[in-house]
Amino acid sequence: MADQSLSRRRFLQSSALVAGGALMAACAPVAGDPGTAAADEGDSMSEEPVELVAQYWGTRPEFIEDREILAQRMTEKFPNVTASQNSVPGGQYGEKVLTAIAAGTPPDTMQLNHRWEPFFRGQEALLNVIPFADADAEFTFDVFYPRIIELGTTEGQLVTVPRGWNPFVIYYNRALFREAGLDDLTTSWENDTWNWDSFLETAQALTADSDGDGRTDVYGMFFPYWYPFLRLGGGDVLSDDQQSSGLGSPEALAALQWLADLRLTHGVSPTPAEIEGLGSAQDLFTAGRVAMFTAGAWGIGALTRVEGLDWDVGPLPRAAGQPPVGYTQYYGHGIPKGTQSAEWSWEYLKIISDEESNITVAQTIGDVPAMRHIAESEHFAGLPKPPTRQVFIDSAPHMQVWPTIAPITEIMSRAITPELNLAFLGEKSVEDAVAAAGPQVDEILATFWGN
Amino acid sequence: MATGQKAQTISAPWSILRPKGRRHKDLYVALLFLAPSLLGLFLLQVLPIGTALVLGVSEWNIIDPIKFVGLSNFVEVATDATFYHTLENTLYLTVGLEVLNTLLGLCAALLLKNAMRGIDLYRTIYFLPLITTWAAVAIAWRYMYSLEGPINALLGPLGIDPIPWLSRPEWAMPAVIITITWKTLSWKTIILLAGLQSIPNEFYEASSIDGASRWQQFWKITLPLLSPAMFFALIIGIINTLQLFDPIFIMTDGGPADSTRTLSYYIYTRGFQNLRMGYAAALSWVLFAIILLFTLIQWVLQKRWVFYQ
Amino acid sequence: MKLRRRETVSLQLVTALGAAALLFPFLWMISASLQTLQEVEAFPPIWIPEVPQWTNYVEAVVNYNIGRALLNSAIVTTVSVVGQLTVCSLGAYAFSRLRFPGRDAIFLLFLATMMIPHYVTIIPLYTMVWSAGLIDTYTALIFPGLFSPFGTFLLRQFFNQIPISLDEATLIDGGNHWHIYLYVIMPLSRAGLGALGIFSFLGIWNTLFWPVLVINSKELFTLPLALAMAQGQFITLIHIQMAGSVIACVPVILVFLMLQKQFISSIALSGMKQ
């Protein structure tokens, strides 16, 4: 089949050049052809001028400022390097990187997370960073949470140098807790009195129709994410061997049913119809219409800005007979294949992931830094709000992520979520939804493993 | 003035492709006038589309080389349940949007044609939805549709229980159609307004002298003379609606339960999310064929209702 | 035509009602641009902010660089719209007034290109722009806006309404096609040019997807890119975004007011016909 395949780059470029690229070049301002920068840098790092670009998503001014500083620090360390950052809105990240890769001009480093890391690694578009780390006396993986490195490593390959992580916790409204006569939540992930039964009781105690019009005004809890509960209940979306859907397992079915019941039977969590137009989980929480909700550490930044809101965090509740699960999403940066010089990319990557950069993660961005000693220092753990920041850090020993196989996003978004949403709407039973999603998951997996 | 009288007798407003005998002597002049357009057509359309044509018979994940796979993508389309489902949604959206847009656009154009007091202000207001950013539109309409929001408040006295517009599969599409109509209505209105203004006033005056009522004038003069503009707006409207993507992405993200996912949204998902550019290209060609078919049908049917002077 | 008084009043009423229905999200946008983030997120929505937050506008301009983005968008859109009106009107003239072999076939090709979904052609287009070394330049932003099959189609329809006898009069006076185009067709097609001007201005002013792909430097961000900066993955600063949106709307309204005069003048023209 090799003779039938044709290099995408040559194919696209020849068609483009035939198109009279020369003519467009004539109208262009005097700008260096980016292609010349790709001239082979060789293995040794020369003193010749180099231009490096780091690709990120998210365009909030504080993010951009952070990335500008990282670029400046790179340029300061290597005077021949002109480092820059490139940020696009989150919704366009995939298109931006893919289009650049398709044109043969990948960025020098790129941001990765639970969604993009499996995707790009699965396409074999990323370099293994372990050889770089081994050859570099300045660098060690030992400063990071070992569990993040462990979870990110598949078959001896690691493609992401982590920068931060977002443990999921329960955010709760302390004022509503006091009104309902409830104590603050435990801070211990191991405490098994904080379990699904006590969670439901707490949610029931918080759910209230305060104006007595027959409609619920305060809901005990809201779950914008169902996946953490699936894991807490001992289930997962894939079978252990990752060959088929895992939603049919008794643990998974029970966990999903329990979630559906929160809404449809117990009425402690609103259905989408009941909160139509009221905004996101966070909006509902700040408006005092939801007393508990699940989210990652990003909730800190958002809730801290709300004046007069008395809130704190607690661990995810344990399911009966199951160990604690600290579901998290980590993110970091990697090196795409085909960059102008992997060595320079590695140097840039080191600055993006270093100690100073981790401090920014803690203080400015508000996530938990990937470096353990920074997370546990005054830069994160020592900050005043919420009072029990330790809950985030204490989830580390129980850290779990979602499956890291390449088609995971497709499996979640295309096969599972639409069906489960029907179940959570009460349109279908959980069994029927799982039975409908199963073959779709299996089909995606068969295509994936078949290749 | 001479201009006006000739306009009535000679001009064929909105007539499309009506050859008036072959005269080749204009070829070189035509090349000069067409040169920029042809260059644009070639660079911005023909080349990328040619590439897309090749992709349609290939497998390409963007990262690895392109592989030729013959017609297998098209065979897959034929048995792809999501394709049929999204096509159904697309047709629902297109019919709903075109009917509402044409009716309301016509009403708005007829209102705005009159030289009443404050007409400049009214025209600007009618145009505002088109320029209001989608982000603002989405938030404002989410409130409109909410259970305690204005739309349900209006329906209440009619004995209709509050409708969860955006979270039920059966209501999401009507809600999307209403919002997009609100947002894009003035597009239609501008075209129809321009069309209305090309109808000479003396037609109305002549019929007034003959004692025709306004209603009769509307049916006998306005509608027939406006039909070419309506035809134009319909053709373009359907071409655009069949490819509609952004508003859906912003308002419902295809949900709930895929009830508002359109074919072009599906194409985008396949290409940029599942990295199946070849398959996405094949789906695009199928969508192209559908749009072409619609356009040709309208072209044939225009003889029945489009009136050229 | 003359309207009776009662008709005038009822027409006014209906038009005003329609206007009110169309106006409210725009009013909400203005109101939200003057609220605090907490007010914006309140439910049911607050229509009149307690204390108007004019600082939102300052923040939008300073933190999100709206000023520079406004300038970029103005440059890109102005050049694109003027270019598109020129290119499309020249092409439309050929389709409307000239006879040459393959004319109808080429015109059909123009129409057909409108029917191809964008997303499959975007990568080849990007590759082309990159090959020409145009990434991160104004040219990359402007170039795709210069040509529009829709615009050519629209103008051709308008040109076809203008009587051929006028061309012939110009030819008898010793003019050529260039004269007909410049002195007959263009002045008589103001309504069409105005409509196309509005459409293309709006389209280019609001486009986000293409600039995301070809622009890297903050200095070249267009308005939609700058506005997207307030959009976070988890937190969106709606009040700042709305302030930016209001700023972004002002030029479009000005352009509309300017171009709709062309509609008015075509009313005046039809009045003259009597």
pLDDT number for residue A389: 92
**Chain B residues near residue A274 by CB distance under 8 angstroms:** 147, 164
Of C103, C191, C249, the CB nearest to B194: C191
Of C104, C158, C202, the CB nearest to B130: C202
* Residue type at position A247: L
- Residues with Cβ within 8 Å of B36's Cβ and at least 6 positions away in sequence, in order, are C86, C87, C90, C91, C146, C147
Residue C76 corresponds to which tokens in the numbers above?
Answer: 């890109």
User: Does residue C65 or residue A110 have the better pLDDT?
Assistant: A110
In this structure, the number of other CB atoms found within 10 A of the CB of residue A446 comes to 12
- Mean pLDDT highest for which of A89-103, B62-76, B90-104? B90-104
Nearest Cα of chain C lies from the Cα of A410 at a distance, in angstroms, of: 19
Nearest-CA neighbor of A85 among A108, A114, A60, A62? A108
**Chain B residues near residue A271 by CB distance under 8 angstroms:** 167
Of B43, B146, B257, the CB nearest to A277: B146
Answer yes or no: do B147 and A276 touch at CB < 8 A: yes
Domain spans of chain C, in order of start: 59-270
The residue among C15, C46, C253 with the most chain B CBs within 10 A of its CB, best to mutate, is: C15
pLDDT number for residue B100: 94
Q: Chain A within 8 Å of B219 (Cβ-Cβ)?
A: no
* Dihedral (CA of A401, A405, A408, A411) sign: negative
**Chain A residues near residue C212 by CB distance under 8 angstroms:** 88-89, 92, 95-96
pLDDT number for residue C3: 57
Nearest Cα of chain B lies from the Cα of C268 at a distance, in angstroms, of: 10
In this structure, the number of other CB atoms found within 10 A of the CB of residue B75 comes to 12
Tell me if C213 sits within 8 A of A99, measured CB to CB: yes
CB within 8 Å of chain B, chain C residues 45-74: 45
Answer yes or no: do C25 and B129 touch at CB < 8 A: yes
Range of weakest confidence among A248-262, B18-32, B169-183, C112-126: B18-32
Of B29, B120, B126, the CB nearest to C22: B126
Tell me if A252 sits within 8 A of C7, measured CB to CB: no
Answer yes or no: do A60 and C127 touch at CB < 8 A: no
Nearest Cα of chain C lies from the Cα of A88 at a distance, in angstroms, of: 7
Nearest-CA neighbor of C92 among C194, C192, C202, C198? C192
Nearest-CA neighbor of B202 among C157, C272, C262, C165? C272
Answer yes or no: do A34 and C130 touch at CB < 8 A: yes
Question: Could you tell me the mean pLDDT of each successive run of 10 residues in chain A, 451 residues long?
Answer: 44 46 36 37 66 90 90 95 90 87 90 92 91 94 95 92 96 95 95 95 93 86 92 95 94 96 93 73 86 92 84 96 95 94 95 95 90 93 88 96 89 87 87 93 88 58
Q: What is the mean pLDDT of residues C252-263?
A: 80
In chain B, what percentage of residues exceed pLDDT 90?
A: 19
pLDDT number for residue B9: 34
Rounded to 5 degrees, φ, ψ at A213 are -95, 10
**Alpha-carbon gap, residue C155 to C73, rounded angstroms:** 25
**Alpha-carbon gap, residue B162 to B152, rounded angstroms:** 5
Nearest Cα of chain C lies from the Cα of B159 at a distance, in angstroms, of: 23
Q: pLDDT tens digits, residue range C142-186?
A: 999 999 999 998 898 888 878 888 888 888 888 888 889 998 889
**Alpha-carbon gap, residue B124 to B260, rounded angstroms:** 31
The residue among B133, B163, B273 with the most chain A CBs within 10 A of its CB, best to mutate, is: B273
Answer yes or no: do A283 and C126 touch at CB < 8 A: no
Answer yes or no: do B257 and A8 touch at CB < 8 A: no
Tell me if C142 sits within 8 A of C80, measured CB to CB: yes
Walk me through the domains of chain B, giving residue ranges and CATH numbers: 2-56 (no CATH), 74-305 (1.10.3720.10)
| DSSP secondary structure letters along C141-160 | HHGGGG--HHHHHHHHHHHT
Walk me through the domains of chain A, giving residue ranges and CATH numbers: 2-166+329-400 (3.40.190.10), 169-322+405-449 (3.40.190.10)
A91, closest residue in chain C (CA to CA): C233
pLDDT number for residue A224: 84
Q: Chain B within 8 Å of C235 (Cβ-Cβ)?
A: no
Answer yes or no: do A8 and B62 touch at CB < 8 A: yes
Instruction: Work out the mean pLDDT of chain B and round it to a whole number.
Output: 81
Q: Which chains touch B (3 or more CB pairs under 8 A)?
A: A, C
Q: What DSSP designation does B267 have?
A: H
The residue among B45, B146, B274, B277 with the most chain A CBs within 10 A of its CB, best to mutate, is: B274
Inter-CA distances, A178 with A174, A175, A182, A391, Å: 6, 5, 5, 21
B22, closest residue in chain C (CA to CA): C99
Report angle CA B276, B282, B287 to the nearest 5 degrees: 120
Nearest Cα of chain C lies from the Cα of A92 at a distance, in angstroms, of: 7
- Residues with Cβ within 8 Å of B175's Cβ and at least 6 positions away in sequence, in order, are B141, B145, B165, B166
Ranges of beta strands (E only) in A89-160 are: 109-113
pLDDT number for residue B53: 84
How many Cβ contacts (< 8 angstroms) between chains A and B? 99
Which CATH code, of 3.30.70.100, 3.40.50.2300, 1.10.3720.10, 2.60.40.10, is assigned to C59-270?
Answer: 1.10.3720.10
**Alpha-carbon gap, residue C61 to C240, rounded angstroms:** 9
Q: What is the mean pLDDT of residues C1-10?
A: 68
Q: B65 pLDDT band (50/70/90 cuts)?
A: confident
* Residue type at position B295: T
Q: pLDDT tens digits, residue range C76-132?
A: 999 999 999 999 999 999 998 888 888 888 888 888 888 888 777 888 888 888 888
The residue among A60, A293, A300 with the most chain C CBs within 10 A of its CB, best to mutate, is: A60
Instruction: Answer whether residue B273 shows pLDDT above 80.
Output: no
**Chain C residues near residue A279 by CB distance under 8 angstroms:** 41, 43
Inter-CA distances, A275 with A290, B141, B149, Å: 10, 14, 11
Instruction: Answer whether residue B271 shows pLDDT above 60.
Output: yes
| DSSP secondary structure letters along A307-325 | TT--EEEEPPPBPTT----
Instruction: Answer whether residue B10 shows pLDDT above 80.
Output: no
ipTM of the complex in this document: 0.78
Rounded to 5 degrees, φ, ψ at B38 are -65, -40
pLDDT number for residue C266: 54
**Chain B residues near residue A98 by CB distance under 8 angstroms:** 62, 272, 275
What angle, rounded to 10 degrees, do the helices at B2-9 and C164-172 form? 130
**Alpha-carbon gap, residue B31 to C95, rounded angstroms:** 11
Answer yes or no: do B62 and A101 touch at CB < 8 A: yes
C92 exposed, middle or buried (CB, 10 Å; 0-12, 13-18, 19+)? buried
**Chain B residues near residue C116 by CB distance under 8 angstroms:** 45, 49, 52, 284, 288
Of A4, A277, A427, the CB nearest to B143: A277
Tell me if C117 sits within 8 A of B264, measured CB to CB: yes
B152, closest residue in chain A (CA to CA): A276
pLDDT number for residue A427: 82
Answer yes or no: do B146 and A12 touch at CB < 8 A: no
Render the burial of C233-263: b for 16+ CB within 10 Å, e for the rest: eebbbbbbbbbbbbbbbebbeebbeebbebb
Answer yes or no: do B256 and A124 touch at CB < 8 A: no
Instruction: Answer whether residue C47 shows pLDDT above 70.
Output: yes
